[in-house]
Structure 1
Amino acid sequence: MPIEDYKKYFDALELSSDAQLSEVRNSYLHLKSLYSNDSIVTSAIAYELSEEKRHEILEQVEEAYAKLADFFTNKDADTAVSEKPSFVVDEELKQYMSGMQSFSGKMLKEIREKLGVNLKDMAVFTKIRKQYFEDIENERFSALPAEVYLRGYIMEYARYLSLDPEKVANDYIERYRTAR
C-alpha cells in the first residue's frame, strides 16, 4: 500500500506523513493517555466530550497506531538488505590493504568508507547493532561487549567487507587485550 493510503492514519495521530516510527509511538501514547477516562487533562472538559466520542477517538488512535506499526515493519522489511552486496576492490584499495601489518578500528573504518559501505546497511544485514560497529571502529574498548561476542561481531564485520575474518578478529582482539 503506498504511503498516501496511510495519510489518514498519520492524521489521526496528528503527525505528518514523513514521521518516524518513534514519533508515531510517542504520539500514540500521548493521545491514548489524553483521551483515557482517567486523564487529568481532559477531566476539566469532560462535559464537552461525551464518553462515546472519547471512545471513538481512542479506537481511531488504536487503529492508526496498529496500521502504522505494520507499515513501518513492512517498510523496513522491504528496504532491508536481503543479501550481502558485492564490492569491487580497485587496485588502489588492494595496494592499501597489502601494506597493512594488522587491522585496527581506524583501518577497518577506512576500508569500509573506501568501499562505500554504510554502517546502517551492515547492521541491518548482520543483525548487529550499529553502535557496536561504531565502537569497534573508534576503538572504544570500554563500550564493547565481552570478548567472545566482540570476536563474533568483528568476524561478521570482516565477512561483510570480504576481508579475512580470522586475521581481522585476531589483530583486533590483540589490540583490545592490550588496551584493557
Structure 2
Amino acid sequence: MKTFKGKSLSQNYYDLLEVGMGADEEEIRRAYDRIKQIYSESSLATYGLYTPNELREFRERVEQAFRVLIDAENRREYDKTLMSEPVKKAKRLQIAVAAKEDGAETRGETASQTERANAGSAGEGMRPAAVQKDAPGKTTAPKAVKREQIRQSVPEDAKFTGPYLAQLREQAGIDLHEISAQTKMSINNLRMIEAEAWGTLPALVYLRSFIIQYARYLGLDEKRVLADLLVRYREARGPDAD
C-alpha cells in the first residue's frame, strides 16, 4: 500500500480530506482548499519531498474525493459502500474467532491425550515429558517493536531533519493518524514538522512541545531531535526565530 506522508492512497475520501462523515459542504470545501494549498506545485511545504508524478497522483485522488463528497447524490452512494465495510469486517472477524476457538479445542484435546500418555508412562517408572514454556518477555508489543526498529536504524552521528523523521516513521510502518490519536497533535502540524514548513507552525514554545512528543512517540532521543530541528528552524527563520 503506497503511503503519501501519512496518507495512504487507498484511504477513504473522508480521511483523505481529513473531515468526518458528518462534515457539511462548507467544511468539505475548506478542507479541500487546505489540502490543495499544501500539495500545490508551488508549495514550499512539499518542496523536494515528492516527484512530480507522486504529486500529480495525489492531487488527482484529492480532486476525485472532493467531486464525490461535494455532490449530495454521489456522496450518499459513496457512504453506502463505506457502511457495508464494517459488516464485511465483522463477518471476517467472526470467522477468524471461530477458527481460533476450533484450533484451541483441538490443541486442548491433543494436550489431554499427551497428559494421559505421560501419566501412563510415569506409572511404568518413566518421567512425564517436560512442558516447555515461553521465556518471560518473549511477546513484544507492536509499538515497542516499531520503536526498537527505528532506534537500531539510526546511526550514532545521525543529524535529524523533518524529512529524515518522516523516512524513519514510514519505514517502521507508523501512520501520522496513529501519532495524532496518541499525542493529540493535529495531522497537519505533524506533516508540517516533517516538511520543515516552520512558517505554518505555531509559536516556538508550542513547537518545542510538538517535536518532543513526536520524537518520544518514535522512541528517539528527544533532546537530540529537538536540538537538531531547532538548529534548522533558526537557520530557516533567521532573526525572527525566537
Q: Whole-Å Cα distance in 2 between the matches of residues 129 and 169 of structure 1?
A: 19
Question: Rg larger in 1 or in 2?
Answer: 2
Structure 2 counterpart of 1:114, from 166, 171, 180: 171
- Following superposition, the deviation at residue 148 of structure 1 comes to 1.1
CA distance in 1, matches of 2:22, 2:157: 42
Corresponding residue for residue 23 of structure 2: 22
The amino acid that maps onto 1:112 is R
Contact 2:179–2:217, Cα closer than 8 Å, also in 1: yes
Runs of 4+ in 1 over 2 A off after TM superposition: 23-26, 89-96
Q: 1:178 to 1:130 in 2, by over 3 A?
A: same
Deviation at 1:141, TM superposition (A): 1.3
TM-score scaled by structure 2? 0.39
When residues 163 and 94 of structure 1 are mapped into structure 2, their CA distance, relative to the original with a 3 A threshold, is: closer
Contact residue 211 and residue 225 of structure 2 kept, 8 A: yes
Structure 1 position 167 matched with structure 2 position 224: yes
Structure 1 stretches lacking a partner, 5+ long: 1-18, 27-83
1:155 is aligned to 212
- Give the structure 2 partner of residue 44 of structure 1: none
| Change in CA separation of 1:97 and 1:20 when aligned onto 2, cut-off 3 Å | same
Aligned-partner SS, 2:143: coil
Unaligned runs of 5+ in 2: 1-19, 28-140, 238-242
**For residues 123 and 90 of structure 1, what CA distance do their matches in structure 2 show?**
16
| Distance across 2 between alignment mates of 1:165 and 1:91 | 15
Partners of 1:88 and 1:173 in 2: CA distance: 28
Residues 38-97 of structure 1 show CA distances to partners (whole Å, capped at 9, x for unaligned) of xxxxxxxxxxxxxxxxxxxxxxxxxxxxxxxxxxxxxxxxxxxxxx96232599755541
Tell me which amino acid in the other structure corresponds to 2:217. Y
* Percent of paired sites with the same residue: 36
Please state whether the residue corresponding to 2:160 is helix, strand or coil.
coil
Q: Deviations over 1:94-152 (max 9, x none)?
A: 55411553100011000110111110111111011111000000111111111111110
Q: Does 1:124 align with 2:181?
A: yes
Partners of 1:90 and 1:109 in 2: CA distance: 14
Name the structure 1 match of 2:192.
Answer: 135
Number of aligned pairs? 105
- Distance change >3 Å, CA 175–CA 25, structure 1 → 2: closer
> What is the match of residue 101 of structure 1?
158
* Residue 236 of structure 2 corresponds to residue 179 of structure 1: yes
Q: Distance in 2 between matches of 1:100 and 1:135?
A: 25
Q: Is the 8 A contact 1:106 1:137 kept in 2?
A: yes
CA distance in 2, matches of 1:104, 1:155: 13
Rounded to whole Å, the distance in 2 between the matches of 1:121 and 1:150 is 19
1:67-106 pair list within 5 angstroms: 86-89=143-146, 93-94=150-151, 96-98=153-155, 100-106=157-163
Q: CA RMSD in A?
A: 2.8
TM-score between both structures, scaled by the size of structure 1? 0.51
- For the 8 Å contact 2:151–2:219, the answer to whether it is kept is no
